[in-house]
């Protein structure tokens, strides 16, 4: 029985070595005189560190230089317009239902005559608010939206909040500006299988 | 003393004092920059161009922090601790010869705080006093961790002072003088710099200097993992600032002492030729003063190299365990330095200057043969997937 467990153990350890091929057996054998003199090892160490002194630095100067975070980054929300500049949102409320932080609230209204150039469907969101103190940027609203109306921009972050005034973003801050249309830069990268591509919404 | 001499002398002393403080200030900046560069980072670069105003910002922060004295602490000793540390740190640079001499009319004033004939003993005395600052501060804090850190600092400093002193004795035997200026002038020829005549003594002195400054790998008095913050756990505000500052001043002073004792101080190759050429072209007074200035710059270059070396080692060698520290001090460095003294004496007797190289040679040979004879570590058989 015991022999069996021992064998099990060695098998286990073998398996562990195989995982990375980098594990080394610890040896506690006595140091040689050269090792006990420390100096050769210290000189070797100094050589290594001074090489790093002249290496290229990994730092990115953050606020001035920003890294591209990829097309899947979830940043500032945007309420998309369609090609003719009409708001897509129909105030169905699915985003608000999907939101785990309950950050989204809206008031629906009926489109009047003559407003066809403003809103795509007969129903639209008169008020659409996202509380940025509650939002966790999970992107579930984006996934829930049947009209491809709400997106989380990959190229812009919600700025840092220093006071409680103005943290509830209304339509003025959320609706896409006509001179500042949002497109995912790299439509080839499929972020998630469920992500609606922009081309599909043309119909 | 003449008034002119007095004025020049006080100017020299003020300059040395100011430069010491300035270098210590910018050592904090350099430490962070060097640390960053050795770790593939950039380091402070926000305050001013290249972050050059960082030390001032740090000092400002230190001043505006709450100056807290623990209720159970011994108040006056608690205040005395950092003051003593700072005082002793500033005192030790007084005897270091920073340059040859300044000529003014008929006066010839050496660039040195004061040239006492027991200069090196003065340095040792002041450095030994430095432990009082740490000990008093650690004890007065009424905190176990502070006290442990202070005790560690005290025992470490005392242990390494023995080897430090013994490694100096070899130099004193060769020079026959305790005056630092005399020791420097003995090293006028490059091949007679003490680093070449006393290689082993230099290694011992350097190691002990690290220990005396409480720098890594011997920074056990402030070993964060074991002692929270060491002897200055309870300190805040500028009192903490003084402790940290005194450490950097100590680093500067020990770099200066190392350059003076082992690297010829303000001497550099072809110094006399340069001096003669300058005197020939600029006249006796101006030429001599410019030559002195060059020597001073050379000395500071050496000092900066050693300050950099202190930082370089800090980010290379991990901290010793306390028993390893004591073993190294008592069982290796002290016997070696005694051997060094004996061999230097024998060399003096038979007029061989480079006698101590014999120890280095023997050690290298022993180490090499031992390494060859040692059983090889079997390469671990890694099962291939």
Distance CA B173, CA B345 (A): 7
| B173-185 mean pLDDT | 86
Residues of B in Cβ contact (< 8 Å) with A59: 41-42
Between these two residues, B380 and B314, which has the higher pLDDT value?
Answer: B314
pLDDT band at A197 (very low <50, low <70, confident <90, very high): very low
Enumerate the β-bridge partners of residue A168: A131
Distance CA A42, CA A33 (A): 14
The pairing of strands B101-104 and B107-110 is antiparallel
**Quick check: B379 pLDDT over 70?**
no
Instruction: Give one word for B360, left, alpha or beta, with left for phi > 0 and alpha for psi -120 to 50.
Output: alpha
| B289-312 mean pLDDT | 89
Examine residue B384 and state whether it is found in any structural domain, yes or no. Answer: no
Between these two residues, B32 and A183, which has the higher pLDDT value?
Answer: B32
Window from B60-64, B177-181, B380-384 with minimum mean pLDDT: B380-384
B356 with B198: CB under 8 angstroms?
A: yes
Domain limits at B92?
A: 56-373
Residues of A in Cβ contact (< 8 Å) with B218: none
**Quick check: A105 pLDDT over 70?**
yes
pLDDT, residue B216, reads 79
- Name the residue among B13, B6, B41 with its Cα closest to residue B315: B41
Distance CA B55, CA B43 (A): 13
Residues of B in Cβ contact (< 8 Å) with A53: 34, 37-38
Examine residue B32 and state whether it is found in any structural domain, yes or no. Answer: no
Q: Which fold has domain A70-182?
A: Alpha-Beta Plaits (3.30.70)
| A34-62 mean pLDDT | 84
Residues of B in Cβ contact (< 8 Å) with A14: 383
Residues of B in Cβ contact (< 8 Å) with A18: 382-383, 385
pLDDT band at B1 (very low <50, low <70, confident <90, very high): low
**Residue from B43, B325, B370 whose CB has the most chain A CBs within 10 Å, to mutate:** B370
- Name the residue among A143, A150, A147 with its Cα closest to residue A120: A147
pLDDT, residue B290, reads 85
Examine residue B225 and state whether it is found in any structural domain, yes or no. Answer: yes
Examine residue B194 and state whether it is found in any structural domain, yes or no. Answer: yes
**Quick check: B349 pLDDT over 80?**
yes
Instruction: Give one word for A111, left, alpha or beta, with left for phi > 0 and alpha for psi -120 to 50.
Output: beta
**Quick check: B282 pLDDT over 70?**
yes
| B5-29 mean pLDDT | 85
Window from A30-39, B16-25, B143-152, B341-350 with minimum mean pLDDT: A30-39
Examine residue B69 and state whether it is found in any structural domain, yes or no. Answer: yes
**What proportion of chain A, given as a percentage, has pLDDT over 70?**
79
| B198-207 mean pLDDT | 89
Tokens 């069982």 belong to residue:
B331
DSSP structural state of residue A30 = P
Contact A14 B383 (CB under 8 A): yes
Q: State the ipTM, two decimals.
A: 0.76
Between these two residues, B217 and A104, which has the higher pLDDT value?
Answer: A104
**Quick check: A12 pLDDT over 60?**
no
Q: What is the per-residue pLDDT across A124-183, written as a single tens digit (0 to 9) for each?
A: 999 999 999 999 999 899 989 888 899 998 877 888 888 888 899 999 989 988 887 887
Enumerate the β-bridge partners of residue A78: A151
pLDDT band at A8 (very low <50, low <70, confident <90, very high): low
pLDDT, residue B73, reads 83
| B241-246 mean pLDDT | 88
Residues of A in Cβ contact (< 8 Å) with B37: 52-53, 57
Examine residue B18 and state whether it is found in any structural domain, yes or no. Answer: no
Nearest Cα residue in chain A from B365: A34
B252 with B98: CB under 8 angstroms?
A: no
Q: Which of B363, B371, B385 sits opposite A18 (nearest CB)?
A: B385
Window from A58-67, A99-108, B32-41, B281-290 with minimum mean pLDDT: A58-67
pLDDT, residue A10, reads 52
B135: exposed, middle or buried (Cβ count in 10 Å: 0-12, 13-18, 19+): buried
Task: State the count of interchain CB pairs (< 8 A) between A and B.
Answer: 65
For chain B, what is the domain count? 1
pLDDT, residue A65, reads 74
Give the distance, in angstroms, between the CA of residue A125 and the centroid of all CA atoms in the same chain: 27
Between these two residues, B355 and B164, which has the higher pLDDT value?
Answer: B164
pLDDT, residue B267, reads 85
Contact B367 A37 (CB under 8 A): yes
pLDDT band at A202 (very low <50, low <70, confident <90, very high): very low
Contact B41 A50 (CB under 8 A): no
DSSP A70-137: -TT---SEEE-B-TTS-B------HHHHH-TT--EEEEEEEPPTT-TTTBSSSEEEEEEEEETTT---
Backbone dihedral angles phi then psi of residue B30, each to the nearest 5 degrees:
-60, -40
Examine residue B362 and state whether it is found in any structural domain, yes or no. Answer: yes
Task: Name the residue ranges covered by the structural domains of chain A.
Answer: 70-182
pLDDT, residue A194, reads 39
Which residues does A contribute to its contact with B (CB < 8 Å)? 14, 17-18, 21, 24-25, 27, 29, 32-35, 37-40, 42, 45-46, 48-50, 52-53, 55-59, 61
| A26-30 mean pLDDT | 73
- Name the residue among A149, A139, A9 with its Cα closest to residue A74: A139
Contact A57 B315 (CB under 8 A): no
Residues of A in Cβ contact (< 8 Å) with B374: 32
Between these two residues, A185 and A117, which has the higher pLDDT value?
Answer: A117
Q: Which of A25, A37, A46 sits opposite B316 (nearest CB)?
A: A46
| B92-100 mean pLDDT | 84
Examine residue B193 and state whether it is found in any structural domain, yes or no. Answer: yes
Average model confidence (pLDDT) across chain A: 78
- Name the residue among A14, A33, A35 with its Cα closest to residue A25: A14
| B114-118 mean pLDDT | 80
Distance CA A33, CA A51 (A): 27
pLDDT, residue B306, reads 92
Contacts with B305 (C-beta within 8 Å, 6 or more apart), sequence order: none
């Amino acid at each position: 029985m015991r022999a069996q467990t021992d064998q099990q153990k060695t098998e286990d350890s073998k398996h562990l070595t195989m995982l990375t091929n980098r594990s080394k057996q610890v040896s506690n054998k006595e140091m040689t005189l050269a090792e006990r003199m420390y100096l050769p090892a210290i000189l070797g160490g100094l050589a290594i560190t001074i090489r790093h002194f002249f290496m290229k630095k990994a730092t990115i100067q953050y606020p001035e230089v920003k890294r591209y975070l990829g097309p899947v980054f979830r940043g500032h929300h945007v309420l998309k317009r369609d090609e003719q500049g009409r708001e897509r949102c129909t105030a169905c409320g699915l985003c608000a239902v999907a939101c785990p932080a309950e950050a989204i609230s809206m008031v629906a209204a009926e489109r009047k005559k003559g407003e066809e150039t403003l809103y795509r469907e007969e129903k639209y969101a008169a008020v659409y608010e996202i509380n940025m103190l509650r939002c966790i940027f999970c992107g579930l609203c984006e996934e829930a939206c049947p009209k491809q109306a709400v997106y989380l921009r990959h190229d812009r972050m919600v700025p840092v909040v220093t006071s409680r005034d103005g943290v509830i973003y209304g339509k003025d801050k959320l609706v896409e500006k006509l001179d500042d249309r949002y497109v995912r830069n790299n439509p080839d990268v499929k972020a998630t299988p469920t992500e609606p591509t922009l081309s599909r919404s043309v119909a | 003393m003449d008034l002119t001499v007095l004025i020049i002398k006080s100017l020299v002393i003020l300059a040395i004092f100011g430069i010491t403080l300035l270098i210590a200030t910018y050592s904090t900046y350099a430490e962070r920059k060097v640390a960053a560069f050795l770790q593939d980072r950039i380091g402070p670069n926000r305050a001013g161009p290249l972050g050059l105003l960082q030390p001032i910002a740090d000092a400002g922060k230190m001043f505006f922090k709450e100056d807290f004295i623990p209720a159970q602490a011994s108040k006056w000793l608690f205040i005395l601790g950092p003051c003593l540390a700072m005082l002793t740190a500033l005192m030790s640079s007084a005897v270091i010869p920073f340059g040859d001499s300044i000529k003014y009319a008929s006066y010839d004033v050496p660039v040195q705080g004061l040239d006492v004939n027991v200069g090196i003993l003065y340095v040792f005395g002041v450095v030994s006093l430095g432990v009082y600052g740490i000990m008093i501060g650690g004890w007065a804090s009424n905190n176990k961790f502070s006290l442990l850190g202070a005790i560690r600092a005290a025992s470490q400093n005392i242990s390494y002072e023995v080897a430090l002193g013994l490694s100096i004795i070899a130099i004193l035997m060769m020079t026959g003088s305790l005056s630092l200026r005399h020791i420097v002038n003995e090293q006028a020829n490059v091949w007679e710099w003490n680093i070449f005549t006393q290689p082993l003594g230099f290694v011992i002195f350097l190691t002990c200097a690290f220990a005396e400054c409480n720098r890594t790998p011997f920074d056990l008095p402030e070993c964060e993992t074991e002692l929270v913050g060491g002897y200055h756990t309870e300190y805040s505000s500028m009192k903490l600032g003084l402790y940290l500052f005194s450490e950097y001043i100590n680093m500067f002073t020990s770099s200066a002492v190392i350059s003076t004792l082992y690297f010829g101080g303000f001497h550099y190759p072809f110094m006399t030729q340069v001096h003669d050429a300058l005197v020939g072209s600029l006249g006796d007074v101006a030429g001599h003063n410019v030559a002195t200035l060059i020597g001073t710059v050379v000395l500071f270059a050496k000092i900066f190299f050693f300050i950099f070396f202190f930082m370089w080692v800090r980010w290379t060698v991990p901290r010793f365990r306390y028993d390893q520290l004591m073993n190294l001090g008592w069982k290796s460095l002290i016997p070696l330095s005694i051997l060094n003294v004996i061999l230097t004496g024998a060399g003096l007797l038979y007029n061989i200057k480079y006698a101590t190289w014999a120890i280095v040679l023997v050690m290298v040979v022993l180490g090499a043969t031992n390494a060859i004879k040692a059983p090889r570590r079997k390469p671990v058989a890694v099962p291939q997937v």
